Amino acid sequence: DAGVIQSPRHEVTEMGQEVTLRCKPISGHDYLFWYRQTMMRGLELLIYFNNNVPIDDSGMPEDRFSAKMPNASFSTLKIQPSEPRDSAVYFCASSSGSNYGYTFGSGTRLTVV
- Least Å distance, CB 23 to another protein, is 12
In terms of CB distance, is 65 or 102 closer to another protein? 102
69 SS3 class: strand
Contacting residue, 20, 76, 87, 106, with another protein by CB under 8 A: 106
At residue 28, what is the residue type?
G
Residues 12-71 that bind another protein (CB under 8 A): 31, 33, 35, 42-43, 45, 48, 50, 55-56
C-beta atoms surrounding 9 within 10 Å: 10
Name the one range near another protein by CB under 8 A: 13-21, 64-72, 74-82, 104-112.
104-112
Per-residue burial over 50-66, b if 16 or more Cβ lie within 10 Å, else e, is eeeeeeeeeebeeeebe
Residue 83 engages another protein in binding (rule: CB under 8 A): no
In terms of CB distance, is 28 or 42 closer to another protein? 42
C-beta atoms surrounding 104 within 10 Å: 16
Query: Whole-angstrom Cα distance, residue 105 to residue 99?
Result: 18
Positions in the binding site for another protein (CB under 8 A): 31, 33, 35, 42-43, 45, 48, 50, 55-56, 91, 93, 95, 97-107
